[in-house]
Structures are given as structure tokens and as C-alpha cells.
Amino acid sequence: MLEHNIDEDSIDRLGNIISILLPAKSYKILCAWTNEEALPAVEDFSCRLLILFGELSPSELGEYFGLSYRECEILIDSLLQKKLAIVNNDGNLTAAPLLNSKVRGDISETISLTNFEERTETVVFDLLTLGLLPSLKHNSASKYGLLEVSKGQHKEISINDVIQSFSSQFRAHLEYSRRSENEIKKTRLYKIMSCEKGMPLQIPIDIEVKLKPSEGFEPILTREVKGGSATRQYIISNELESCISDYIASLEVLNIGTSFSEYCDLVDDHVLKRYIENEQFNFSGWLKDRQHKKTGYGNQLTRGMLGPIYLEKNLKRIISEIKYIFTNNEIEALPPALWLSSKLPLWGANGTELYEFAKRMEKELTQKDEPGCITLLFNPQNEDKALHEKRYKNRIPNAISLQGESITDFIECFIIPDHLAVIQFHIYPSKTSSITVPIGFITTEKHRLEQIYQLVTSRIMSSSDIKVTWGGRNLSDLLPLSLLQELESRPLTTKRPHQQRKEVNVLRKRKFSFKKPESH
């Protein structure tokens, strides 16, 4: 049973998380800074006594604190070394000029010393705005292949530019170094002696897309840019966020393929279809009704799903359902999970969540000696297949390329044949953004599973060429046996219908031999 809700306690919905790379470079800076360091308590009080009484003999000072001869000797040596006290002609201790200048007659003032320190600091600057970034370790497997923002006007940066930027952002550097607030306040940059170029870097950042209903159809779209990790995050400057927004806005917007209305017909989504008016989706209306639990599908076997399947809330739901399947059905292993991608520039543009999703799903699908399998189905069309391999290979373990026209579009599907399916349509929540928000449902209903499986197989069957692109497995390991048999028996030349609406009729006419899943 599908038991999880989609954030029913909040109307501020997480619709997507997009990860992109920032061009950056490291530098080694030799610098000097000063900081104010408070005296140890016994030294601080000794200084106050010297100011108060004018002079003290070593024995008087030792007796006052109950010190042994050796302890008193160490205390006096420290005061002399720090130039806080001097020995007069009588052999007594008096306040040194440095101590008098710090206290200025007010013994209630905190006494501290200014330390001078030379350090070599390794710092990282983004090459878009020359803003300082924290030096953090990033998971190279999860970030490899992400889209990178172009360098723009700061392609050539001089050493002098870096020195000036470090000087103006020195406080941020101290904060990124995890120094205490009190220490930061007392530390000042004294001078920079030299600066050396380091390695070019790619820094991943996440853009969280959140939705709130408005008075119109389009929801209020807010984007929160986050850098760092779950344990350490930092704020992106407005200037850098503007560069990222310009880059996203420059990406191509897909405007051909299955329409939202046709999608609802293909997968029999009567819930979402209620919100279509004049070929426009009333996203705000759906969000409002979702808040009041008015967007259900009439049973617990089909539930709405907002956002990519690799978001944590959606991953938990899918895993919970897989565990239920293994617990309540006598099966040794599940068939390969098929993941039909959408044809969008920012599809799968995610680092950590997508990487963890694939890893967790393979683990959950593994039973005894049968390793779990996720097969990505993508349509390169005129694009280089190597480009897709570069973008997704480190985060999705296996992939098959489907050659042909318009095999993928706005529709995305994740299906474990006979058992579970997630079907979604990618919607542009704003006309001015390239970021889409997938919306659809997760189901274990028999007739829906059959219908969605037919949709996926019809697109696979319409491919003119099917090849394993990466993963090291054979085609027979990545596709269900029944589908492999169909592929072997199909005509050598297969053409996909040019009009998407014909697909509805195709699905209604074709009949597949299918193992029916048990209801739960």
C-alpha cells in the first residue's frame, strides 16, 4: 500500500532540485594577519594588580596567588616576555608602557595582546564574479557530467584581481575556515605578500525550485541556490545567483512532443486532466486542492507524485513500495527497472540525489544472488551518445540508446514491469524558465501498470536501433524477456507514428501477454 503523503502539512512544495557546476580556481596566498588574544586569567589579574598598586615584588605576587617559587618564576617570565611588565631598580615589577597604553588607567578593561602571524592560505574563487567560495570536498562521482555555467567576462583574471578580492572578502574567508565569531571580530588582515595560481575546479551548487499557488494558473516560483553539503552550506551572492539565472534562461526550451492533455489521455490521469483549461494547466489550482486533499485517485494503489523520483521524499515512497512487494509476494527477484528519460536540457541535472537514488534502488532491487538493475532509456537523436554517457554514466549505472525521431519528449517513466510504475509529465511552471517540474503519479494498480508498460514498450519498439551505451551488461540483462522476444520478432524497419495522439489508438488495439501483479 502506498502510505506516504506529499508534504500535506505545507503548501510550499519542493518541485525540483537542479545541480550545476560553477567554474572556479584555487589560489595560494601568502599573507599576514593580526589577532587580539586575551591573556590567561592569572596574567590578566597580575596586570591589574600592577596598575592598581604601581609595583609589586616577586614574592608579593607569588603569595597573592599562592604560587610556588617555580610557578611564580614562570608567571614573571611570561609577563616580561610579552612586554607587559618591567623590573625597576629595586627589583620589583611595574607596569610596562605597553600595558599602560592598553588599560589607560581603567583596570576593568579586558587586556589582550595583538599577535602577528604569517600564513599560507589556499582559497577558491568562482570565475564568474570572483567571489570567494569555501574549500570543501565534493563527491566527484555525483558531480561528474553536470552542466557547467560558462565563464563569461571573467575568463581572464589577473593576480592583482585575486589579491583585491581576497582583501575585500577576508571576513568571509575566516567564516569559511570555521573560526568563532569572537575570533573573527579580533582578526585583521595585515598584508598580502604573494599569490600563486592553483588548479581549475568545478564547484557543484544546487537550485531548489519551490512552488506556491497564486491567483492565476502559474504558481509563484521561488529558487533557492545552495552551495556546500547537507552539513555545511553557504550563501551565494546576488551577483553569482544572477549569472546562474541567466545561464538557465539561455537553455533551449522544448516545445514539441506530447501535449499535457494527450499525456493525461495516454495514462488515464483523470485527476490532472480536471485542471486543464484551454490547453493550460491550472498548477495553482492543483496546489490548492492538494493542500486540502482533493487530488486523490480514488484508492491507495495510485497516489500523486510531484518532483523528480530521486527527491528524498519520492525515493522513500518507492523504496517502501518495493519492500512491500518483496514482503507480500513470493518472488525471488524483480525484473529490470526501466527508466524512460524525458527530452529536456535539465533532465537528470542533479548530483547527490540522483547518485544516491540509483545506488539505493539497485540495493533494494537486489535479492540473494540476483543483482538489482536499473536501465536508463534515452533518445540521443542527432546528439552524440558520448555526451549522454559523460553526463549520466557516473550516476546511472546502465543505459540503452534508442535511435529514432521523437521517442522521448516531456514524458518520463520509471517502471518495474508487473509491479510498480511512476509516470510523470514535465511542466514549465513559468514561461520565463527552462526548469521543469515533473508531475504525475505512482501506481501498483494492475490496469495502470499494463497501460504504462505498453506506453514504454511502444516507444522502445519504435526505435530503429537499440544499443547498450554503458554499464557493461548485455541487452538481455537490461530488458524484460518478453520485450526482448518482441524486439526479435519485429520487422527490420520500424517507424514511429509522427503524431503523438495516434499512440492512444495503438495502445488500445495492442494486447500484451502479461503476468498480472497481485493487488495490495
Looking at every residue in the chain, the average pLDDT score rounds to 86
In a domain, 505, yes or no: no
User: Between 452 and 175, whose confidence is greater?
Assistant: 452
In a domain, 497, yes or no: no
* Of the residues 208, 231, 250, the one at which a domain ends: 250
Task: Specify whether 26 is located in the same domain as 169.
Answer: yes
pLDDT beyond 80 at 114: yes
pLDDT beyond 70 at 395: yes
- Residue range 226-239: average pLDDT? 72
In a domain, 337, yes or no: yes
In a domain, 90, yes or no: yes
Q: What pLDDT, on the 0 to 100 scale, is given for residue 497?
A: 37
pLDDT beyond 90 at 470: yes
Report which residue type is found at 347. W
Confidence band, pLDDT 50/70/90 cuts, at residue 11: confident
Considering just the CA atoms, what is the radius of gyration of the chain in Å? Answer: 33
* Helix or strand (DSSP H, E) at 314: helix 312-328
Report which residue type is found at 192. I
3-state secondary structure labels for all residues of 480-500? CHHHHHHHHHCCCCCCCCCCC
Task: Specify whether 365 is located in the same domain as 244.
Answer: no
256 Cβ contact partners less than 8 Å away, ≥ 6 residues apart: 406, 409
Report which residue type is found at 14. L
**pLDDT per residue as tens digits for the range 58-71:** 999 999 999 999 99
- Residue range 76-87: average pLDDT? 92
Task: Specify whether 239 is located in the same domain as 303.
Answer: no
Q: What pLDDT, on the 0 to 100 scale, is given for residue 499?
A: 36
- Residue range 237-265: average pLDDT? 89
CA-closest candidate to residue 227, choices 511, 21, 509: 21
- The three three-digit cell numbers of residue 67, written as one number: 604560587
Q: What pLDDT, on the 0 to 100 scale, is given for residue 382?
A: 65
* Of the residues 185, 215, 250, the one at which a domain ends: 250
Q: What pLDDT, on the 0 to 100 scale, is given for residue 185?
A: 87
Task: Specify whether 468 is located in the same domain as 442.
Answer: yes
Task: Specify whether 158 is located in the same domain as 83.
Answer: no
pLDDT beyond 80 at 381: no
**pLDDT per residue as tens digits for the range 338-373:** 999 999 999 999 999 999 999 999 999 988 777 889
Evaluate the CA torsion angle 341, 347, 353, 354 in order and state its sign. positive
* Helix or strand (DSSP H, E) at 56: strand 55-56
Q: Give the range among 360-364, 421-425, 506-510 with minimum mean pLDDT.
A: 506-510
In a domain, 509, yes or no: no
Task: Specify whether 281 is located in the same domain as 299.
Answer: yes
Task: Specify whether 221 is located in the same domain as 148.
Answer: yes
pLDDT beyond 90 at 1: no
pLDDT beyond 60 at 504: no
Give residue 80's domain range.
40-109
* Helix or strand (DSSP H, E) at 142: helix 140-143
Determine what percent of the chain falls in helix, strand and coil, rounding each to the nearest 5.
35, 30, 40
For residue 196, what are the CA distances in angstroms to 29, 163, 289? 7, 10, 58
Q: What pLDDT, on the 0 to 100 scale, is given for residue 206?
A: 92
pLDDT beyond 70 at 265: yes
- Residue range 276-283: average pLDDT? 92
pLDDT beyond 80 at 490: no
What three-state secondary structure class fits 13? strand
Beta strands 93-95 and 85-87, pairing class:
antiparallel
**pLDDT per residue as tens digits for the range 145-183:** 899 998 765 567 899 999 999 999 999 999 888 778 888
Q: What pLDDT, on the 0 to 100 scale, is given for residue 4?
A: 43
In a domain, 198, yes or no: yes
Task: Specify whether 23 is located in the same domain as 65.
Answer: no
**pLDDT per residue as tens digits for the range 306-340:** 999 999 999 999 999 999 998 888 887 889 999 99
Task: Specify whether 240 is located in the same domain as 305.
Answer: no
Task: Specify whether 26 is located in the same domain as 71.
Answer: no
CA-closest candidate to residue 110, choices 157, 47, 162: 47
Q: Residue 328: what are its φ and ψ, rounded to 5°? A: -110, 10
In a domain, 130, yes or no: yes
User: Between 151 and 403, whose confidence is greater?
Assistant: 403
* Of the residues 221, 250, 279, the one at which a domain ends: 250
Q: Give the range among 160-164, 393-397, 481-485 with minimum mean pLDDT.
A: 481-485
What three-state secondary structure class fits 10? coil
User: Between 83 and 178, whose confidence is greater?
Assistant: 83
Alpha helix segments (H runs only) across 36-90: 41-53, 58-65, 69-81
Evaluate the CA torsion angle 316, 319, 323, 324 in order and state its sign. positive
What's the CA gap between 184 and 147, in Å, rounded? 36
Q: What pLDDT, on the 0 to 100 scale, is given for residue 385?
A: 75
pLDDT beyond 70 at 503: no
CA-closest candidate to residue 201, choices 122, 265, 113, 102: 122
Task: Specify whether 366 is located in the same domain as 217.
Answer: no
Q: What pLDDT, on the 0 to 100 scale, is given for residue 86?
A: 92
Task: Specify whether 63 is located in the same domain as 153.
Answer: no
CA-closest candidate to residue 381, choices 455, 465, 461: 465
CA-closest candidate to residue 14, choices 206, 231, 181: 206
Q: Residue 284: what are its φ and ψ, rounded to 5°? A: -65, -40
User: Between 264 and 513, whose confidence is greater?
Assistant: 264
- The three three-digit cell numbers of residue 89, written as one number: 631598580
Q: How many helices (H) and strands (E) does the chain have?
A: 19, 19
105 Cβ contact partners less than 8 Å away, ≥ 6 residues apart: 51
Give me the CATH number covering residue 46: 1.10.10.10
For residue 137, what are the CA distances in angstroms to 124, 339, 357, 442, 516? 12, 30, 21, 35, 48
* Helix or strand (DSSP H, E) at 185: helix 181-186
What is the tally of structural domains in the chain? 3
In a domain, 519, yes or no: no
- Residue range 262-274: average pLDDT? 97
